[in-house]
Amino acid sequence: MDYGNKTTRVVVIGTGFVGSSYSFSLINQNVADEMVLIDLNKEKAEGDAMDLNHGLPFGSPMKIWAGDYSDCKEADIVVITAGANQKPGETRLDLIEKNAKIFKGIVGSVMESGFNGIFIVATNPVDVLSYATWKFSGLPMERVIGSGTILDTARFQFLLSQYFDIDVRNIHGYIMGEHGDTELPVWSQTRIGVESIDRYMEKYKQDARKEDLEEIFENVRDAAYHIIERKGATHYAIAMGLIRLTKAILRNENSILTVSTLAQGEYGLNDVYLGVPAIVNQKGVQRIIEIELNDKEQSQLTHSANVLKDAMKPLFNM
């Protein structure tokens, strides 16, 4: 798949908080030539298209319209943000049954159009629904990508940057596993600049405490709960993460991002989608990067995968 000078089209399915935030980011970052909005509420999609089009004099040239599933045939990327939202007190895994049923219809309709591009899945529980999209679509696994732990990783980097008073762009570390309660921080590979986090604390921040770092991770893991309690939904940061992923695909960047993709033996895991560092380009996921984990991290990742596998068991009895 070589985009070259081809007109690039992104279809956004679901114009709720995440979908509309993503659409607004897309128009502002000159990523694609065409954007199609699809929603069960056709008037909402039409209203968003009108509103976005009125901003074109201030942004980059783009063709934007409210469409239907037939528009997916020529799409390079279909981004799915539709589905039931996480409510206060709900975990992401609580959403499996209702959102899997919604996805079966959406993915079937997209594939009926003749779509042959790349799916990006953002709806929660994103790992389970990415796996479901892969199964429902029949596409190769590299062309079904979940947003995974890109947002968790960004939250991790931000909070560490605050703690150490270092530019967030110089914090290097990953959150892996489920985008949810069983995710894990890879402390053994976390770097501040080129220094390991342990070495950096030893040299430059002797007052740092391991308890502080654990609290930082807990705030990363539980961030969605805190935000949902305050404003009902999280959408700005994940929208920006989705744009980052869209750019990596359309611009053939070979970027390493912690997306949700299918493990096929990597880290000793099989037949499960979960957040891992992977190279992303115009073909989708080129390959998973297997970073070295310590024994504790490997055990946590295996546990996370097992929780996701158990959660998926009822999916394909629908």
Catalytic positions, please?
179
Beta strands in the chain (DSSP E): 9-13, 34-38, 63-66, 77-80, 118-121, 144-146, 171-172, 175-176, 184-185, 191-192, 195-196, 255-264, 270-281, 284-288
Dihedral sign (CA 46, 50, 55, 59): positive
Cα–Cα distance list, 18 to 195, 237, 308 (Å): 36, 9, 23
| 295 contacts: CB under 8 Å, gap ≥ 6 | none
In the sheet that 118-121 helps form, which strands lie side by side, from edge to edge? 63-66, 34-38, 9-13, 77-80, 118-121, 144-146, 255-264, 270-281, 284-288
Q: How far apart are CA 12 and CA 110, in angstroms?
A: 11
| Bond prior to 125 in cis (omega within 30° of 0) | yes
Do the beta carbons of residue 197 and residue 216 sit within 8 Å? no
308: buried, middle or exposed (CB in 10 Å: 19+, 13-18, 0-12)?
Answer: buried
Q: Which of 86, 152, 133 is nearest to 273 (CA)?
A: 133
Nearest CA-CA partner of 179 in 124, 261, 141: 124
Interacting residues of 109 by C-beta distance below 8 A, sequence separation 6+: 69, 72
Q: What is the DSSP letter of 54?
A: T
